[in-house]
Amino acid sequence: MAHAYVSYAKTDVDAADKIAAHFEQAHVVAERDPDRERSGTHLSEAAAKSIAGSFAFIVLFSQHASESAQVRRELERAIEGAIPILPVILDDTPLPPWWQERLRHLVRVDARADDGSHFNALLNGVRRFFDRLCPVISLMNMKGGVGKTTIASQVFAAMQKTRDQRILLIDLDPQHNLSQLFFRRSTQDTLVYMDASVISLFEPSGLQDHPSPAENWHTVNVAAADPPQPEQIVRRLVPEGRTKGRFDIICGQFDIAKYAFLDNKEWIDTARRNFVRSIDVLRDHYDLVVLDTNPSASFLTRCAFAVSTRILAPVRPDRFSIRGVRLLNDLMTRLLEEPGRPPISMIFNNVERAAMSELESDVREGKLDPQIGFSASRATLEHRLHASKFLAVREEGMEDDPLAHLAIYRAGGLWGGALQETLKDISDEIAGLLEIDAKR
């Protein structure tokens, strides 16, 4: 599992323990050298391996740390491995020359007050590094029918195909249209019956030898259980051999609507924590996670907010779609505090190929920014997805063939080629926003 590494002098173990406990509550793993009592001049194999595999290196600086050869060795290894470093200042000890040379350009977290105020600042800093490892983007608009499922499937299939990334789609809409796009009814029913579906992200299920959460809409299983592993719950959409990466999905189901009808706070909080933990496990195995959400303010929406690093709002060129984005922004403003609120991007969908509507022009020129409630003009993607017969939902066939539903694989001819180029341009623009590396 992805982790941050904590380096500290032996006498600062209490401070390290507090940080690890705070991180654990936020579902962030903090590892450290398991053998702090050993002697010698060489970095242990366990510590070297843990530092090399970390996404961030936290060094607790104090008088004791400045005199610790162990902390110095660990910091040097992090620098050699180009691991992002976050210094935490524990006391008033001035930085000696060796430390000054290595830490002078870094943003430091001041923990000298020891009142706990530094924990959130440290966690936010670490989270930013973690989020860059595997962003989570949620397709959202409080208006239905704007093309969330189309964008989720078509644009991110293009991103995966052109960049060889590992991309996971999660169908978080009780209507589960995304799953219906790719699977015939019998296949989807089988996945749901086996709990190899989205509900297992919220509760222990048949995957952990528990009763299926779908069987009981009146309670939440609060038993402790590890989140499901990808091989238990994920299904490939692009066959192995057709791509160097992966394009996968976690099947949706109507039963996740049950959480909207429960009023027991402990149950709901447990389900949300399980979901966050499950997403963090999945992020270890992918370069991008994409959530296709329902158009309502619900428990599922709050779960998506809890894990999203960016919101992508598809809009059609009509005032109802724009109003849906305004409502989405209002909801986020009421529920989420800054910093930490994921930014919103907008993409125009189902537009005319050549012409731009008056409403779209008004959005891009900033005329509707006051009405929408934020700088939608700056948040709107340059590229737009035009209407095309290749994006129409096809009737389910006798066999499951996800590629038959993806324009980046099946679109042909003059107009099909133009659509594929558009999909690539949109996916590249989104990849730039998410800081996703180019093809490896």
Which pLDDT score, from 0 to 100, does residue 38 have?
Answer: 52
Mean pLDDT by 10 residues, the chain (440 residues): 86 89 80 65 81 89 90 90 88 87 82 77 76 86 93 95 94 94 91 96 95 95 93 93 90 96 94 92 91 92 92 95 95 83 93 90 94 94 92 62 88 88 95 73
Residue 312, φ and ψ in degrees, nearest 5: -115, 115
* Residues contacting residue 72 through CB under 8 Å, at least 6 positions apart: 98
The DSSP output letter for 12 is G
Exposure class string for 229-253: b at 16+ Cβ within 10 A, else e: ebeebbbebbeeeebebbbbbbbbb
Q: Which two tokens stand for residue 207?
A: 């995957």
Tell me how crowded residue 337 is: count the other CB atoms within 10 A of its CB.
7
Which pLDDT score, from 0 to 100, does residue 39 have?
Answer: 45
Which pLDDT score, from 0 to 100, does residue 105 have?
Answer: 76
Which pLDDT score, from 0 to 100, does residue 177 have?
Answer: 93
How many residues would you count in the chain?
Answer: 440
Cα→Cα distances 338→247, 325, 356, 379, Å: 33, 19, 34, 18
Nearest to 172 by CA among 133, 202, 204, 134: 202
Which pLDDT score, from 0 to 100, does residue 120 have?
Answer: 77
DSSP 130-149: HHHHS-EEEE--SSSSSSHH
The helix-helix angle for 299-307 and 319-335 (nearest 10°) equals 70
Check: CB of residue 253 under 8 Å from CB of residue 172.
no
Nearest to 176 by CA among 167, 166, 185, 164: 185
Which pLDDT score, from 0 to 100, does residue 355 have?
Answer: 86
Which pLDDT score, from 0 to 100, does residue 383 have?
Answer: 96
d(CA 170, CA 251): 7
The bridge status of strand 246-250 relative to strand 385-386 is: unpaired
Sign of CA dihedral 347, 363, 353, 178: positive
d(CA 260, CA 2): 31
Which pLDDT score, from 0 to 100, does residue 249 have?
Answer: 97
Which pLDDT score, from 0 to 100, does residue 440 have?
Answer: 42
Cα→Cα distances 132→55, 56, 273, 345, 433, Å: 9, 11, 21, 17, 11
Which pLDDT score, from 0 to 100, does residue 41 have?
Answer: 54
